Each structure stands twice: as structure tokens, then as C-alpha cells.
Amino acid sequence: MKTPLFTRDRSFYKTLIVLAVPIALQNLISYGVNFMDNIMIGRLGEIDIAGVYVGNQFQTVVQLMLNGVTGSLTILGAQYWGRRDVDSIRRLTALSIRCALVLGALFTLTGMLFPYGILSFFSEDPAVLDVGVRYLRIVCWSYLFFCYSMTLVASMQAVESVRIGLYITVLALFTNVGLNYVLIFGKLGLPAMGVAGAALATLISRVIEAAVMTVYVCRKDQRLSFRLPSFLLRGGGLFGDLLRCGAPIMGAWIVWAVNNLAATAILGRVGTEAITAVSIAGNLSQLLFMGVLGLSAALGIITSKTVGAGEYEKMKEYAVTAQIFFMLVGFVVGGVFYLVKDPVIGFYKLSEGTRLVTDQFMLVLLVAQVGRCYQATCLQGLVRAGGDTNFILINDSIFVFGVVLPSALLAHYVFHAPAWVVYACLQSDQILKCFVALVKINRFRWMKNLTRTAEAGA
């Protein structure tokens, strides 16, 4: 029987929108907080923009590593949710929280003890490093709270309770932006703290976020019924499942973290203009992509739940429809990117040279964004969420170490290419992976039921 291009199951579209809207808004607002940080700090000058960008690279590593924990929790949790096995989800949540706290503590300690050693990997400019270190020494204390609260958000997403993530993000937006204004520029009688004020605002916002999330999950939520004693639950065999599912996910994010760190290091050698440009262009790209990631996360929940319930034929219909949808979304996002790039560049106080490089980087990202909206979202929302977590690790490793980084190093060190060519090499996988995704997804061999007592399917 031929799989239709568009599924006739109306519940798919309804569930996708119901889940996607809060997650997309959460992602947009969450990244919007960082974007507003970037704009406010941008009023201080190019060195401050570059310094905070470099300082935030360590936060990027934390988030990518945490994605291994939360990704595994969401996939396994949603598959158990498809079977309505809530007890297993509670145990998975308790295990994931403990892993996340250990992860957050390790990164906080590392950021406090070795700030210069960490950030010198990304830039050789002493002025940029000085700003980045001042920022990192304060903001690293937020990692523990961030890891904890994002794990609780992931547990709620697994049981299709997604609005709380949006609510705490809105709270973080108002808290962070308000504190940024007061602390960065010295309002309400307080001294102007500059980048240190931005870091302190982030820390306070994360503490509030974690507190609100705890109250909601332990007192208000009824789906998971996770209460204070639940934090001490043992996982038994589930810990092994969490590791088996999470290790490839974390491995893939580690590969991606290495890619991001190496890309920043390469661009740092290209010059401060390139670092400033990628900070501005990259922030806009991520801001626009956050909404698409919300759709991908919603698709992932549907995928895991459907596979967990053993409904493989239905999942094939969903997969074909999702691919067409995300292809169209890619072109829409590319068009929006083109329309807003010039006004965004105009917000910043930039030299003519930096302005030119930023515009060139924007054009590179415009093309890359189209491919990214298809392959990244479908590989994450279908293949990984469907249980084939190893494929993403293998695919990313091949492209990062075999294509992206070698081509960028050759472009800069051998051919002495312009900054935008080096950046295009760093973004080349966003288009090339589309061909891999097209073949992989439509073979439908990625559907694997990972729940205990269940047989691997499809």
C-alpha cells in the first residue's frame, strides 16, 4: 500500500500544533532573551559583543551536553507515555535530574577554576578575553540551575504538558531584560556593571526559573505526579536504558559541540571582525530557527509516542507529511531572514569592515537555513525520536570531521580565502545532509520501540 503524501489523520495536525505552539514560543522567547542580551551589550561596543559571545561558548557546551540527558528522557518518556506507563517516566525523571545536576556542577567548577584556559581557545585578543572571563566567572553559577530546570521541562514535554515551559520562559524574559537594563547600564541608583551585569541578570533569572519549575512539577502537575519523594526514586534497569539511549545522543551533541568550538576558534583566528559578525548573524539565525525547533520537538513527541504504542504504519504517514511540511517551512524562514537582516545589522554600532562581513555572513546563513529546516528537524524529530539514536551520531561525525572542519581549515590556512568563504565551509553540511536525510527517512528503518518488555518494531 502506497503511503500518502499527506496523512488524513486529523489528530496528527491538531496534536502537532497544540504541542508546537507553546514549545516554539518557549524557544523563541528563550533565545530572544539571549538576543536582547546581545543587542544591549552591543551598545557598549564591538569588544564587548565579541567578549560575551566568547564567554557564552562554554554555556553552549553545557547546553549541548545537557541535550543528551534531556533528549534521552524525552524519547524514552514519550514512548512510555504511549503505553501510559507513568511510573517508569517518574523513575526516568529522577535519574535524569541526578545526571543533570552532576553535569551542571562539573561545568560550574570548571568555569570558575579555568576561565582563561577555556576562553583562550576561542580568541587570541587580550581585550576580548578579559571581557569574556569577567562574564564567565559570574554566569557559570547559573549552569546548575539551568541543567536542573531544563530536565524538569523535558519531563513535562514527555507527557505532553508543554505550556509550563512557555510560562517560565516568559518569566525569564521579563526578569532578564529588566535586570539587564538596570545592571548593565546602572539604573535605579545602582552602578553600571557592563558585561558583569548581564551575567548577574542571567544567574538571577535561572534561579527564579528553577524555583518556579520545582513548585509547578511537585505541586500543580497531575499527569506525571512527580512529588518531592520522587527525587529519590531508583531506576533499576531503566538507568541502563537511559544510558543506551542517551549515550549516542550525547555523543552527537559532543560532536556538534566540538564543531561549534572549532568553528569559533577558526573564526577567532580570522579576526575580531569575524567573531563580531558571527555573533550577530548567528544570533539572528538561531532566533528564527527556534520556532522551527519547536515544531521539530513537537514532531519528536508525536513520533516517540506513536512508535511506543506500536503504530508503525501510521508513523510512516506522519513521516512523509512532516518532510513536505518542513521543506516548505525552510523556504519561508529563508525569506524572512532576507527581509530582516538589514534592519538587524542597523541596530549595532559597527565599523564599515565589520558591517560588510556581517552582511556576507547573513547571506551564507540565508542559504544554509533552508537546508537546516528540512534535514535537522526531520532527522531529530523522526529518526532520533523514533529510536535510531546511533544514526545521528554517525552522520554528524562524518560531516563534521570529514567535510566541515577540514574544508574550513583549508580555506583559511591554505587558500587564505575571505571570511565569508570560511564561514560557508562551516555551514556546508546544512545543505549536504539534506540528501542523506531524504534517503534515511524514507527507508523507514529507524522506528525502534525502546520501552522495556516491548519488541523492537518495524
Q: For the chain, how are helix, strand and coil distributed in percent, rounded to 5? A: 80, 0, 20
With 50 as the cut, is the pLDDT of residue 153 above it? yes
Please state the three-class secondary structure of 33-80 as a single string: HHHHHHHHHHCCCHHHHHHHHHHHHHHHHHHHHHHHHHHHHHHHHHHH
Mean pLDDT on 406-431: 94
With 50 as the cut, is the pLDDT of residue 353 above it? yes
Q: For 289-303, how does the pLDDT look when each residue is reduced to its tens digit (9 = 90+)?
A: 877 888 898 999 999
With 50 as the cut, is the pLDDT of residue 457 above it? no
Q: What angle do CA 362, 49, 180 make, to 5 degrees?
A: 115
Residue predicted with more confidence, 283 or 15: 15
Q: For 308-319, how does the pLDDT look when each residue is reduced to its tens digit (9 = 90+)?
A: 888 999 999 999
Neighbours of 8 (CB within 10 A): 8
Q: 51-55, 90-94, 162-166, 250-254: which range is least confident on average? A: 51-55
Cell 569575524 -> residue = 274
Predicted pLDDT at 237: 78
Predicted pLDDT at 455: 42
CA distance 275 to 54: 8
Query: Residue 33 — pLDDT band, cuts 50, 70, 90?
Result: low
Query: Residue 446 — pLDDT band, cuts 50, 70, 90?
Result: very high
Predicted pLDDT at 365: 92
With 70 as the cut, is the pLDDT of residue 19 above it? yes
Query: Residue 63 — pLDDT band, cuts 50, 70, 90?
Result: confident
Q: For 257-271, how does the pLDDT look when each residue is reduced to its tens digit (9 = 90+)?
A: 788 878 888 988 888
Query: Residue 401 — pLDDT band, cuts 50, 70, 90?
Result: very high
Contact in structure between 215 and 171 (CB atoms under 8 Å): no
Predicted pLDDT at 439: 95
Contact in structure between 420 and 360 (CB atoms under 8 Å): yes
Predicted pLDDT at 194: 83
CA distance 327 to 374: 5
Mean pLDDT on 381-394: 92
Those residues with Cβ within 8 angstroms of residue 269's Cβ, 6 or more apart along the chain or in another chain: 124, 412
**Percent of the chain surpassing pLDDT 70:** 96
Predicted pLDDT at 34: 65
Residue predicted with more confidence, 31 or 377: 377
Q: For 166-194, how does the pLDDT look when each residue is reduced to its tens digit (9 = 90+)?
A: 888 888 888 888 898 899 888 888 888 88
Predicted pLDDT at 359: 92
With 90 as the cut, is the pLDDT of residue 406 above it? yes
Q: For 319-346, how does the pLDDT look when each residue is reduced to its tens digit (9 = 90+)?
A: 999 999 999 999 999 898 889 888 888 8
Contact in structure between 266 and 43 (CB atoms under 8 Å): no
Predicted pLDDT at 454: 47
Please say whether the dihedral angle defined by the alpha carbons of residues 130, 181, 32 and 151, taken in this order, is positive or negative: positive
With 50 as the cut, is the pLDDT of residue 366 above it? yes
Taking the domains of the chain in order of start, what are their residue ranges?
10-441
Those residues with Cβ within 8 angstroms of residue 327's Cβ, 6 or more apart along the chain or in another chain: 373, 374
Mean pLDDT on 276-282: 85
